[in-house]
Amino acid sequence: MATSFGALCTDFYVNHKLAVKMDLPKDRETVLHLFDRVRAEIPEMSRFKRYQDELALESPRREGAYQWLALRKQSIRSGSVNPESMDEGYRLHRLVMEMSPYFLTISPLDIEYIELMYGFDLECKVNQHQAIAEALYGGTPMMRLLEMPGATPMEVQPAFGVTLLDEQDLHVYYEVKARTTPGQVRNDRYRTEPLSIFLTLRRPGVIEKIDQLPDVLAAMRVRGEQLATDQLIPNLLQPISRIIIGSV
């Protein structure tokens, strides 16, 4: 894994979502043509799967790296896990923005929102809720709520959202997800599981021409990487990582 973001965590991934207002076509010919075009551009995307609510095209997992594409009723989603470079991480998402409107007859009026999400997983064998509380709330009134006699944190999963009004109402969300269960806390026995930190950018679907979608993605990429570098990493990822390392 060669990305600078990937070097900070166990697994790093970039996911993309194009949400629409009307149901997408799901006939056999349309879906297969779209997936065939994607496979022509990315040959390793060769595994076609059907799940309960989606049709998916996936690549094999090689040393933790893989890509996936999923078509649902009102969205098309894609993901790149542990990409070798940031350019590689966006390659599939750009293809989706370029191809899906024409294969799935998506128009500017139909777009609900465009989403770009960065995920950072930190594998650890600790009470993840405790680690989050100490890293983010240590010395604050919030921490005093969790430090009652005999109390052990079992539900600390903060989420924050802001609207950037000067950037066409770009919505930015920060979320920390712990996977430690109440049973593990009660028994004081923990499994090695990922603690996930997410940065999500969501832009309402206000565009004039459908061929602007790749440019919208490019602009969101620049903003997303800047927010990850300047905000998420120093204020969420690094404080939590330090607590986890100190607990080992």
90-114 pLDDT, tens digit per residue, is 999 999 999 999 999 999 999 999 9
- Rounded to an integer, what distance in angstroms lies between the CA atom of residue 55 and that of residue 63? 24
157-211 pLDDT, tens digit per residue, is 999 999 998 887 899 999 999 999 999 999 999 999 999 999 999 999 778 899 9
**Integer-rounded Cα radius of gyration of the chain:** 20
44-70 pLDDT, tens digit per residue, is 999 999 998 899 999 999 989 999 999
- The 8-class DSSP code of residue 136 comes to H
Record the tokens describing residue 174, joined without a space.
């920060």
Mean pLDDT score of the chain: 94
| 8 A C-beta contact, residue 245 and residue 106 | no
- How confident is the model at residue 248, as a pLDDT? 61
- Rounded to an integer, what distance in angstroms lies between the CA atom of residue 50 and that of residue 70? 9
Query: Is the pLDDT higher at 246 or at 41?
Result: 41
Q: What distance lies between CA 182 and its chain's CA centroid?
A: 25
Where are any strands of DSSP class E within 125-209?
159-164, 170-177, 193-204
CATH architecture of 6-247: 2-Layer Sandwich (3.30)
- How confident is the model at residue 146, as a pLDDT? 87
> What percentage of the chain reaches a pLDDT higher than 70?
99
Angle between helices 86-103 and 213-227 (to 10 degrees): 150
Domain locations in the chain as residue ranges? 6-247
Among residues 9, 239, 238, the alpha carbon closest in space to that of 118 is found at 9
The count of residues in the chain is 248
Over 50: is that where the pLDDT of 225 sits? yes
Q: What distance lies between CA 159 and its chain's CA centroid?
A: 14
Phi/psi of residue 191, nearest 5 degrees: -100, 160
Strand order across the beta sheet in which 170-177 lies: 47-50, 55-58, 66-71, 75-81, 11-20, 111-124, 193-204, 170-177, 159-164
